[in-house]
Amino acid sequence: MIRNIIFLLFGALFASFTFAAPEDIDVILREPNLLFRGSQVGKVDFLTAGALRAGFGGYLMGHSYQTWQFKSAADLVPIAFGEVALWRMGVGLQGLADTGNDIGFRLVQNHYEFYTAFEALFGPGVGYLGYRHRCRHGVDANNISRVVMRSGPEIGYKWAFSGGPLNFTWNSWANYFITGQNQRKDAPWIYEGIFQQRMLFGSVLQAEWWLRPYIGLFATLGLGVLVATIGADTYHLTAPYNQTQAKLSPAGALGVKMRGRAGDFVVFMNVQRNIDSGFSSQVAEVNALALTAEFLF
């Protein structure tokens, strides 16, 4: 028991230092009931389950500052309420790098995330209500990168089902948040991002086809819809003053998943439209294509 607790806490600490992505759509979905695996019927228990994730990849298309990416994340269950509900916490980081130094690996952006939620078995899947905080920080002084934070409640539902030889995982959510931005020292007149209300609706469907018990193929399709209000001293997204608009963030992935005794190893190609790359003094969309390898425990 003590060894399991140390393992989970170490995983959470590692992730907090080293995963919040620039993308709004996560193209790798885990089993909806993954964190319920340690729950016991009719028993309130502590530190019952955890999940770890780590990966590295490169961009084939994107912003000039996007060449490499690395990420890690961890979730754990502080309290499980029988086998039907739990409280989860998660932390993570994703770093982006380009080739702008002598070793061809210059860190240019870090994305941090903290997430907590109550999850409960509901119908055929899992419903959840939680709070998500994400922030982005520029690292190297030679590139333009804004500090942007976003915080707010999130509600969602995730469900796994089968159809013929395929296994499907579906996740949909709504995230209401306030976004804020630092006042740039080199451009003090830029205030976009200061306390603007926004809403992100997202849905992702992942299909898996297991060729053998230990290897399979998967494909993912997702769509995010960001609703942003525009006004004085707010987060301008190329819309006229004092209007509301919706911005689309489509995503997709195709890859191979290998299953072992300790977890999964996935290699995949993913494409996504990022509504704001963060690499400019004002909001600018970027279409990114990346090849990534990840370990899922």
Alpha-carbon distances of 242 from 140, 176, 221, 231, 282, rounded to whole Å: 34, 19, 33, 4, 17
- Going by the DSSP 8-state scheme, the letter that residue 184 receives in this structure is P
Give the closest residue to 280 by CA, choosing from 95, 108, 151.
108
Q: What pLDDT, on the 0 to 100 scale, is given for residue 178?
A: 83
CA distance linking residue 122 with residue 115, whole number of Å: 21
- Burial class of residue 212, CB neighbours in 10 A (0-12, 13-18, 19+): exposed
* 12, 14, 17, 21 alpha-carbon torsion, rounded to 10°: -70
Q: How many C-beta atoms lie closer than 10 Å to residue 27's C-beta?
A: 25
Lowest mean pLDDT segment, chosen from 42-51, 114-123, 157-166, 192-201:
192-201
Q: What are phi and psi of 139, to 5 degrees?
A: -110, -55
Domain ranges of the chain: 2-296
> What pTM was estimated for this model as a whole?
0.84
CA distance linking residue 99 with residue 108, whole number of Å: 10
Q: From start to end of 47-124, where are the E strands?
A: 50-61, 68-81, 85-98, 106-122
- Burial class of residue 128, CB neighbours in 10 A (0-12, 13-18, 19+): buried
CA distance linking residue 147 with residue 180, whole number of Å: 8
Sequence-distant (6+) residues with CB within 8 A of 155 are 127, 128, 129, 130, 173, 174
Sequence-distant (6+) residues with CB within 8 A of 153 are 129, 130, 131, 132, 175, 176, 177
CA distance linking residue 12 with residue 89, whole number of Å: 9
Residue-wise pLDDT tens digits, 16-68: 222 345 677 899 999 999 999 888 888 999 999 999 999 999 999 988 888 99
Residue-wise pLDDT tens digits, 55-99: 999 999 988 888 999 999 999 999 999 999 999 999 999 999 988
Give the closest residue to 69 by CA, choosing from 295, 297, 296, 290.
290
Give the closest residue to 295 by CA, choosing from 92, 73, 54, 91.
54
Lowest mean pLDDT segment, chosen from 82-91, 104-113, 157-166:
104-113
Percent of the chain with pLDDT over 90: 56
Res 237 pLDDT > 50: no
CATH topology of domain 2-296: Porin (2.40.160)
